[in-house]
Amino acid sequence: MAAELAGGNVALALLGNTLATGAILVVLVLALAPISGAHLNPAVSLVFALRRELTLRLWLLYATAQAAGAVAGVLLAHGMFSQPLLQFSTTVRSGPGQWLAEWVATFGLVGTILCVAKWRPASVAYAVGLYIAAAYWFTSSTSFANPAVTAARALSDTFAGIDAANAPAFVIAQLTGAFVAFWFFGWLLERSVHEPGESA
């Protein structure tokens, strides 16, 4: 929709994607948190498995469901906009700058979730939506920050796509960023001088 209505203006198309993504993330986290903890991202779920808040078996089940859901979402979007259901992206997203951007995007997302979940758990949905909306603009990669989404977007030759050949490097950057965030924010939160719910 953003690409169709923007008339070739890439910044306007990106703004449309930003608003839609940030808003629906808030809704999805609020709606699904009581059911599954709103696990929508294999990299984030992996962090919770490393923290022993998920078993390895449950992480594998979540990751499978996340990937299947992402692909289903792409097919549904294609269907709604009368595009061929099966596509392969030709959008090149590669290079050290974009790989670093994906590392930063995922590191920041995990840090946001861990910190807000500890101090203001009722605000996690809003923090995630706002973080991703901001990261669309402060990262050169437009912040995929999600291995399942990365794989699914390789199946969409649209404004949001990524060439399948470029996807593995994005996923490696995302998983690396998530692991470093797991370590760093675990260390940081253990040394916090405040108690949960206490104002800084």
| Cα angle: 136, vertex 40, 85; to 5 degrees | 80
Answer yes or no: is 195 within a domain: no
Return the sign of the alpha-carbon dihedral for residues 27, 133, 80, 4. Answer: positive
Give pLDDT tens digits for 56-70. 999 999 999 999 999
Task: Report how many domains make up the chain.
Answer: 1
**Does a structural domain hold residue 59?**
yes
pLDDT given at position 18: 94
Q: Tokens 């997302």 correspond to what residue?
A: 109
Domain hosting 50: range is 2-190
Provide the CATH number for the domain around residue 163.
1.20.1080.10
pLDDT < 50: residue spans in the chain = none
Q: What is the pLDDT of residue 196?
A: 56
| Listed residue (9, 199, 21) closest to 105, CA to CA | 21
Q: Is residue 174 domain-resident?
A: yes
Residue 81: what residue type? F
* 196 within some domain: no
In a domain, 79, yes or no: yes
pLDDT value, residue 187: 95
- pLDDT given at position 197: 55
Tell me, yes or no, whether 198 lies in a domain.
no
For the segment 154-182, what is each residue's pLDDT rounded down to a tens digit?
A: 999 988 899 999 999 999 999 999 999 99
Q: What is the pLDDT of residue 191?
A: 83
- Long-range CB pairs of 61-68, under 8 A, 24+ apart, other chains included: 62/36, 63/148, 66/39, 66/40, 66/41, 66/42, 66/148, 67/42, 67/147, 67/148, 67/151, 67/152
How far is 14 from 41, CA to CA, in rounded Å?
A: 21
> Does residue 199 fall inside a structural domain?
no
Which pLDDT does position 4 carry in this prediction? Answer: 80
